[in-house]
Structure 1
Amino acid sequence: MTAAPPVEPAATAPADAPVETPRLRTTFRRRLFWIVVPIVAVLVAIATILLTASGTPDVDRYSIGNAGPSGSRAVAEVLRSQGLDVVAAGSLDEARAAAGDDSTVLFTDPYGFLDAEGLDAVAGLGTDLVLVEPGTDELAALAPGIANAGAAEQADAVEAGSGCAIPAAQRAGTISQPSWTYRVLDGQGAGDAASACFLSYDDAYALVQEPRVNRGDDSTVTVLGAGDALTNERVAEAGNAALVLGLLGEHPTLVWYVPGPDDLAGTDAPATIGELTPGWVTPVILLLVLVTVAAGVWRGRRFGAVVVENLPVTVRASETMEGRARLYAKQGAHARALDALRIGTIARLTALLALPRHATVVEVSRAVATVTGRNVDEVHDTLVGALPRNEGELLALSDRLLLLEQDVHRATDLR
Structure 2
Amino acid sequence: MIADTTERGTPARAEVTTPTLRAAVKRWRFWLILAAVAIVGLLVVAVASGTGGGSRAPYSITNAAPEGSKALAEVLRQQGVDVVQADTMQEARAALDAAPTATLAFADPGGYLNDARLDEAAELADRVVLFLPGFDELRAFAPEIASAGAPRDTDGVEAECSLPAAERAGSIIGGGRAYRAPAGGDAELCFRASDDAYYLVHDDTPNASVTVLGAADVLSNEGITGAGNAALALGLLGEDATLVWYVPTASDVEADGPADITSLTPDWVTPVLVLVVFTFIAAAVWRGRRLGALVVENLPVTVRSRETMEGRARLYARAGARTHALDSLRIGTITRLSKILGLPRNATVDEVIASVAAVLPGRPLGDIQSILVAATPSNEADLVAYSDRLLELEGAVTRAVRP
Q: Does 1:259 align with 2:248?
A: yes
Consecutive unaligned residues of structure 2, counting only runs of 5 or more, are 1-7, 344-351
- 1:165-204 correspondence runs (5 A): 165-178=162-175, 179-183=177-181, 191=186, 194-201=187-194, 204=197
- 1:203-352 correspondence runs (5 A): 204-211=197-204, 213=206, 220-264=209-253, 268=256, 284=273, 288=277, 295=284, 298-299=288-289, 301=291, 303-304=293-294, 306-310=296-300, 317-329=305-317, 333-341=321-329
Q: Does 1:398 align with 2:391?
A: no
Offset, 1:159:
0.9
**Cα distance in 2, alignment partners of residues 169 and 252 from structure 1:** 20
Q: Given that residues 38 and 293 in structure 1 are in contact (C-alpha distance below 8 angstroms), is that contact kept between their aligned partners in structure 2?
A: no
**Cα distance in 2, alignment partners of residues 273 and 241 from structure 1:** 51
Q: Given that residues 63 and 71 in structure 1 are in contact (C-alpha distance below 8 angstroms), is that contact kept between their aligned partners in structure 2?
A: yes
Change (3 A) 1:269 1:380: closer
**Cα distance in 2, alignment partners of residues 208 and 77 from structure 1:** 25
Q: Given that residues 382 and 401 in structure 1 are in contact (C-alpha distance below 8 angstroms), is that contact kept between their aligned partners in structure 2?
A: no
Q: Given that residues 382 and 397 in structure 1 are in contact (C-alpha distance below 8 angstroms), is that contact kept between their aligned partners in structure 2?
A: no
**Cα distance in 2, alignment partners of residues 347 and 208 from structure 1:** 84
**Paired residue for 1:156?**
154
- Aligned residue pairs total 371
Q: Given that residues 38 and 296 in structure 1 are in contact (C-alpha distance below 8 angstroms), is that contact kept between their aligned partners in structure 2?
A: no
Offset, 1:389:
4.5
Letter in 1 for 2:249: G
- 1:98-137 correspondence runs (5 A): 98-99=95-96, 100-110=99-109, 111=111, 113-116=113-116, 118-125=118-125, 128-135=127-134
Q: TM-score, normalised by structure 2?
A: 0.67
Offset, 1:268:
2.3
Offset, 1:79:
2.8
Change (3 A) 1:74 1:278: farther
**Cα distance in 2, alignment partners of residues 282 and 387 from structure 1:** 73
**Cα distance in 1, alignment partners of residues 41 and 260 from structure 2:** 24
- Correspondent of 2:84 among 66, 84, 87: 87
Change (3 A) 1:67 1:394: farther
Q: Which is higher, the Rg of structure 1 or of structure 2?
A: 1
Change (3 A) 1:172 1:341: same
Change (3 A) 1:230 1:285: farther
**Cα distance in 2, alignment partners of residues 272 and 45 from structure 1:** 34
Offset, 1:202:
5.4
- Correspondent of 1:74 among 71, 74, 88: 71
- 1:352-363 correspondence runs (5 A): none
Q: Given that residues 173 and 226 in structure 2 are in contact (C-alpha distance below 8 angstroms), is that contact kept between their aligned partners in structure 1?
A: yes
**Cα distance in 1, alignment partners of residues 168 and 149 from structure 2:** 25
Offset, 1:183:
1.9
Consecutive unaligned residues of structure 1, counting only runs of 5 or more, are 1-11, 351-355
Letter in 2 for 1:123: E
**Cα distance in 2, alignment partners of residues 142 and 408 from structure 1:** 95
Change (3 A) 1:384 1:229: same
Deviates most, 170-179 or 382-391: 382-391
**Cα distance in 2, alignment partners of residues 347 and 226 from structure 1:** 75
RMSD value over aligned CA atoms?
A: 5.3
- Residue identity over aligned pairs, in percent, reads 42
